[in-house]
Amino acid sequence: MSYLLFMDESGHDHRQMPYEVRGGFCLHVSKLWPFVRSMQKLERDAFGAELSQYQSELKGSKLLKKKRFKFAEQEAPMNDEERRKLVRSLLTKGLEQKSPDGRELCAYGQASLLMVDGVFQLLDDHDAVVFGSAIPRGALKNAECSEEFLRKDHVFLLERFYYHLEAKQEHGILVLDEVEKTEDRRFVRRMERYYTATATGKFRSKWVVPTPFFVSSDMTHAVQAADILIYCINWGFRIPRYGMDSPVRQEIADRYGSWLSRLQFHGDGYRDGSTYESFGITYVSDPHTSRGQKKEGNAFGATS
């Protein structure tokens, strides 16, 4: 048996998001199908339909827009039947390029927040473990750094996943959202080089399968859940002691920050013969500086 790490990325277009974040959550393979079925049911319960039927999908940037919170608060929570009916009407109008009315927007806002709330609950119910690594938006490349090697933040992310697998004595497989084929191939080459050409990577390939699988996010509920997680980390999770202190969207931080803290990996890390407390969400202020030059922080103050 093994664990699957479903990963996505956020903020890599360098536009509005405060950080570049890569990560997601891992799930034991025996719990994948129950999780997917639960996600499908949650989607139907919240929206009254599968969004794919209306040429849409579950994405953090869509479900957690500021206006979703604003519209959701315009009325007391609607009963399930009324909310689903209004949401289906809104989605149909979207296909017909018609404008929704105020109550439909309110229903969709409430459905969106119900969906995200439910995703976090399902992750908890299925013993999911969250991993993520963040760097400043648009972090400048070091001219001396080779494009053929993994960045430090990616190494840290894989390191935490390895610690989790080692503790469980289980193998792990990476499942990534297919973004752009050229960049995807580059990332795979960097990963394979790390696991085959470095001493640390070779050692960690004992538990981590070096070659990831790529899937389309609109086809995989687990990757869509990872997208929601990473969006929430970007806007609602901070480690100010180590410089991860960009402004948050308070409504996201208040609603999901404690979930992220609780669901993230927490275990032992090892370096230079010593053991330290390690967490699944990390911040790397300079992804191109070598590890020996500068320590980087993770949640609750441990260093890497």
| Domain spans in the chain, listed from the N-terminal domain onward | 2-37+121-170+218-301
* Per-residue pLDDT at 89 exceeds 50: yes
The verdict on pTM exceeding 0.75 is: yes
Q: What is the pLDDT of residue 303?
A: 32
Position 188 scores a pLDDT of: 84
Cβ atoms of 192 and 210 closer than 8 Å: yes
pLDDT value for 294: 46
With bands split at pLDDT 50, 70 and 90, how would you rate the model's confidence at 295? Answer: very low
Q: Which two tokens stand for residue 197?
A: 């050409």
Using one digit for the tens of pLDDT, what is the confidence trace for 183-241?
Answer: 777 888 899 999 999 999 999 999 999 888 888 776 689 999 999 999 999 999 999 99
The answer to whether 119 and 128 have CB atoms below 8 angstroms apart is no
Q: What does the alpha-carbon distance between residue 90 and residue 96 come to, in Å, rounded to a whole number?
A: 10
Residue 155, number of CB atoms within 10 A of its CB: 22
**Residue 92 is which amino acid?**
T
Q: What is the mean pLDDT of residues 99-124?
A: 98
The rounded distance, in Å, linking the Cα atoms of 59 and 28 is 23
Bridge partners, residue 147, by sequence: none
User: Which whole-number Å values give the CA distances from 203 to 5, 154, 210, in the listed order?
Assistant: 19, 17, 11
How much is the pLDDT for 288? Answer: 75
Comparison of pLDDT for 238 and 1, the residue scoring more: 238
Taking only the tens place, the pLDDT of each residue in 9-61 is 887 765 789 999 999 999 999 999 999 999 999 999 999 999 999 999 999 99
**172 alpha-carbon distance from chain centroid:** 17
Closest CA to 231 of 11, 13, 56: 11
* Per-residue pLDDT, 59: 95
pLDDT for the residue 301:
33
Distance CA(149)–CA(219), nearest Å, equals 30
pLDDT value for 149: 80
Contact 252, 232 (CB under 8 A): yes
Contact 213, 226 (CB under 8 A): no
pLDDT on residue 300: 37
Q: Is 267 helix (H, G, I), strand (E, B) or coil?
A: strand
Residue 184: per-residue pLDDT: 73
Q: What is the tens place of the pLDDT at every residue in 127-185?
A: 999 999 999 987 766 544 556 788 899 999 999 999 999 999 999 999 988 766 677 77
pLDDT of amino acid 215:
85
